[in-house]
Amino acid sequence: MRNTFRFVNGIRSAYPIRRIADKFPHMKDTVQKRIEILLQHLGVKPQRASLDAGMSRDALRKLLAKPTSKPSAEMLEGLNKAYGVSVQWLLHGGSDTPLFDGDATPRQEATENPPTKADQAAGIPIKGSVAAAYVSGEAGADDAVIGAIQTPPTLAHIKGIYALYVDGTSMEPQYFPGDLIFLNPARPARKGDCVVIVTDHGTGPQRSLGIYTGENGDTVYLKKRDPQRPEGTDIAIPKKHIKARHKVLTINEIFGA
């Protein structure tokens, strides 16, 4: 019998749907199937979701390849923490689309229908610039759209993506003045990721670009590349002034590598 493989984000799944469906006719009611639906809804690959959930890179891939295996409590809790998905939905279903905790927001939300040509033409909005440096209390950020850029196909189904121009030299050689960066407000940042922190010290919003290195109960820490200092410069930003933190997408995330 010929097998039919499923493609997710252009990648062939590790197992043929028809073979599994024949062997497990109620696969649609399994935790594995609901996790697969969740990943499609979010537009993320199993490897990325595994890392977001605090697991090894191949944890979800191995689970999805074995329909009779059971996810651990740590795996379910990790997916809940990373994406806000309901653990009860993962375990028991009750809806054809993912259900999320009432006080949580899904980390990425795909459109229900494929993007139209008009959606593609509108492109990703460019919302001004971000300072490579951080000066406490300095204002200068707003959400005014100053332009747009064509949407890469791998980002077309994700809501909320926007772009900023880099202003300043303190993130060289990673980012130079005038470079365009893409941000996903819904994707959680891990240590080592580049982020844009939006702060307000009472003088209006300020954006700052840096490498997220960690946090404690009161403070978020960033590192600047700083071309004058090979070890970089560490920046401490009080959480009480932080209004948002948005992950900068990598080249791999932009183009689906």
Cα-flanking dihedrals φ and ψ of residue 243, to 5°?
Answer: -100, -25
Q: How far apart are CA 68 and CA 75, in angstroms?
A: 16
Please state which of the ranges 66-75, 112-121, 181-190, 247-256 shows the lowest mean pLDDT: 112-121
pLDDT tens for each residue of 161-176: 899 999 988 898 889 9
Residue matched to tokens 């909320």: 160
Crossing angle for the helix pair 31-42 and 73-83, to the nearest 10 degrees: 20
132 pLDDT tier (thresholds 50, 70, 90): confident
Tell which wins on pLDDT, 203 or 59.
Answer: 59
Q: List 199's β-bridge partners, or say none.
A: 206, 242
Half-sphere exposure of residue 3: CA atoms within 13 angstroms, side-chain side? 12
pLDDT tens for each residue of 81-125: 887 788 888 888 877 777 765 433 334 444 434 455 665 567 899
Q: What is the pTM of this model?
A: 0.55
The answer to whether 24 and 67 have CB atoms below 8 angstroms apart is yes
pLDDT at 237: 92
Is residue 51 helix, strand or coil? helix
